């Protein structure tokens, strides 16, 4: 009751999950983003397609048994897409089984016309995505058409995707075929899929910006998460040999070989700019 009065109690949703408290939303969600509407040079080469792998899952289980109402963070998904779209890249939207994309709509920047516009433009694709097995069956032999695989963050990226063998197959394909991998925040959790079936971790020795576990450990105190996480993304990746480039939830971005990463939602705009610059330098 005291937590409710103080505005730090997570909000109970109709399905029994919890979304962030009033205080957490006030601290972490803004009506507008820092998106910069830049006139980027356009992709001229053949590699103009980007596969975007979204989560179709909503509820992430915490250590205490409660569920966090999550999905893909809209800013982390849509700001990089805005920059890439402005540079002439095209998107193929996919989820693991072809179920609709799930967004953290409580994090949607309702006053940001740029974000609202691209969300509306691709809403039908979000509601009717490809399934990864179909992408694998039809597109892996056409790597010459693809510039990147993009895996947005949001805690939903930790539900199923790190255990998905099709995600692992696509990441290995990208690694072998000079297709870039772009991700941020909790999205790098997808890289854990490359260890399935006792395979060697694909990114040992890579520099990456990743959401820090230390921040996830703090957020239950003000009601962002309804409990502690079952495991931490950044420390798990570090234990596998990743070099972490940030220790805070900040705007850090990093490009190392074929991998482009960002630290948090705050890095979404910078990640989009870095992704465009890196892809154009490689493929134009």
Q: Is 185 in the active site?
A: yes
Report the distance separating Cα 157 and Cα 153, nearest Å: 6
Angle between the 165-176 and 132-139 helix axes, to the nearest 10 degrees? 30
In the sheet that holds 180-184, the strands lie side by side as 130-131, 90-95, 49-53, 146-151, 180-184, 259-262, 253-256
Exposed, middle or buried: residue 279 (CB in 10 Å: 0-12, 13-18, 19+)? buried
Helix, strand, coil share of the chain (percent; to 5): 45, 15, 40
Q: Show Cβ contacts of residue 265 under 8 Å, excluding neighbours closer than 6 positions.
A: 28, 73, 75, 76, 107, 153, 185
Catalytic residue selected from 151, 159, 174, 185: 185
Contacts with 123 (C-beta within 8 Å, 6 or more apart), sequence order:
none
* Residues tagged active-site: 185
């Amino acid at each position: 009751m005291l937590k409710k009065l103080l505005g730090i109690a997570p909000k109970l949703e109709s399905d029994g999950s919890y979304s962030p408290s009033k205080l957490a939303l006030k601290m972490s969600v803004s009506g507008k983003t820092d998106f910069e509407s830049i006139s980027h040079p356009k992709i001229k080469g053949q590699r103009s397609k980007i596969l975007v792998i979204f989560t179709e899952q909503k509820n992430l289980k915490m250590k205490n048994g409660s569920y966090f109402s999550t999905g893909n963070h809209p800013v982390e998904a849509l700001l990089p897409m805005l920059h890439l779209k402005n540079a002439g890249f095209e998107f193929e939207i996919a989820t693991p089984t072809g179920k609709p994309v799930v967004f953290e709509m409580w994090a949607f920047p309702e006053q940001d016309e740029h974000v609202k516009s691209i969300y509306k433009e691709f809403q039908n694709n979000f509601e009717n995505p490809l399934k990864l097995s179909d992408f694998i069956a039809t597109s892996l032999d056409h790597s010459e058409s693809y510039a990147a695989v993009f895996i947005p963050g949001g805690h939903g990226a930790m539900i199923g995707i790190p255990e998905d063998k099709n995600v692992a197959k696509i990441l290995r394909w990208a690694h072998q075929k000079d297709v870039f991998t772009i991700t941020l925040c909790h999205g790098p959790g997808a890289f854990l899929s490359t260890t399935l079936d006792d395979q060697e971790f694909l990114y040992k020795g890579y520099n990456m910006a990743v959401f820090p576990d230390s921040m996830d450990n703090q957020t239950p105190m003000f009601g962002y998460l309804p409990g502690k996480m079952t495991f931490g993304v950044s420390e798990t990746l570090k234990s596998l040999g990743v070099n972490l480039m940030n220790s805070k939830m900040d705007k850090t971005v990093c490009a190392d070989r074929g991998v482009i990463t960002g630290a948090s939602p705050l890095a979404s705009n910078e990640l989009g700019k870095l992704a465009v610059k890196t892809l154009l330098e490689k493929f134009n």
